[in-house]
């Protein structure tokens, strides 16, 4: 399976569709009676002329989520190949994104974190462009707007504003105007949101938007560990990725090294921002799928022992499907 996707062949899109269905087959047999899709945060309801919560038939919901995942997978594949992050053109990023976005059954339905991944991908295209740009003020402004728009869809996305400044540190010499441009872009969106609040006589409640950001980081998280055994091969692949990256780090171009540093920062930010939502759900970690898919791809494109990496990937697929049918 992995070797098929190492080759840049458009026919691999067909294999992606088949795999997308196979990795959701367990969820098809246990679809709930109703699935609601909240596509903006409650504080952004004023911007939406209709209901901010949509209800689809469960199968249609899952089908639309599959189309979204496939589109995002192809965008990530284009991103990675455009910036030559793997050293060659391949379909592995698309394969890995489809796989990671199927890890847990809540990943298989439409959700705000899933939609937010479009903003993550959009950000990465612009962040990676910092390296060759002589003046990044307009790009920083655009990135501030993207983070603000993503925050309207899913509030924890707001922490990705830090990724803009970190990217400026990694890719660019210090220029305070570029840092301020990001703030202005972010403030532009929320200024117009404040105007909407004012026009609807709700300006006094505007500050409530920021209250969740003051939530204390939890000391412990209650989870059913049996349901997360599926993460064992994921953790193993990540460990192997770090070993491979360490071996090849100083052999890579400067831009590639800096790009992987930024991806790791984004991986940490998206993973640790879950606590902002009081009704935390596991689908939050879909935000980690974009950088993780690049990490996985880097390992598999550089892995040398075919039987080992093919077996490892097969184990990951088996565990995903197995735990869809067995939730203990």
Each residue of 271-318: pLDDT tens digit?
Answer: 888 877 666 678 888 999 999 999 999 999 988 888 888 899 999 988
Q: How far apart are CA 139 and CA 145, in angstroms?
A: 10
Reply yes or no on whether the pLDDT at 328 is more than 50. Answer: no
Q: How far apart are CA 3 and CA 163, in angstroms?
A: 33
Are 145 and 186 spatial neighbours (Cβ–Cβ below 8 Å)? yes
Mean pLDDT on 140-166: 93
Q: What is the mean pLDDT of the chain?
A: 85
Q: pTM for the whole thing?
A: 0.91
Which residues, at least 6 apart from 299, have a Cβ–Cβ distance to it below 8 Å? 237, 240, 241, 244, 309
């Amino acid at each position: 399976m992995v070797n098929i996707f190492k080759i840049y062949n458009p026919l691999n899109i067909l294999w992606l569709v088949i795999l997308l269905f196979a990795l959701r087959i367990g969820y098809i047999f246990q679809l709930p009676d109703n699935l609601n899709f909240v596509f903006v945060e409650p504080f952004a309801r004023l911007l939406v002329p209709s209901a901010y919560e949509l209800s689809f038939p469960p199968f249609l919901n899952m089908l639309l989520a599959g189309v979204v995942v496939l589109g995002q997978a192809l965008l990530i594949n284009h991103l990675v190949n455009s910036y030559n992050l793997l050293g060659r053109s391949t379909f592995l990023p698309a394969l890995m994104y489809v796989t990671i976005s199927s890890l847990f059954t809540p990943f298989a339905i439409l959700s705000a974190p899933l939609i937010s991944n479009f903003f993550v991908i959009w950000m990465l295209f612009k962040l990676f462009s910092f390296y060759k740009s002589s003046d990044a003020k307009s790009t920083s402004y655009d990135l501030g707007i993207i983070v603000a728009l993503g925050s309207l869809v899913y509030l924890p996305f707001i922490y990705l504003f830090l990724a803009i400044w970190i990217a400026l540190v990694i890719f660019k010499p210090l220029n305070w105007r570029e840092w301020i441009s990001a703030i202005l872009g972010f403030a532009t969106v929320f200024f117009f949101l404040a105007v909407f609040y004012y026009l609807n006589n709700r300006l006094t409640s505007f500050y409530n938007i920021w209250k969740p950001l003051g939530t204390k980081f939890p000391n412990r998280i209650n989870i059913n560990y049996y349901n997360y055994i599926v993460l064992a091969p994921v953790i193993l692949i990540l460990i192997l990725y770090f070993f491979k990256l360490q071996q090849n780090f100083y052999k890579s171009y400067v831009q590639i090294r800096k790009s992987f540093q930024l991806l790791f920062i984004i991986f940490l930010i998206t993973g640790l921002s879950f606590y902002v939502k009081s009704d935390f759900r596991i689908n939050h970690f879909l935000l980690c799928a974009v950088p993780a898919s690049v990490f996985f791809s880097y390992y598999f494109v550089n892995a040398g022992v075919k039987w080992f990496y093919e077996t490892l990937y097969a184990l990951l697929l088996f565990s995903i499907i197995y735990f869809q049918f067995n939730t203990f």
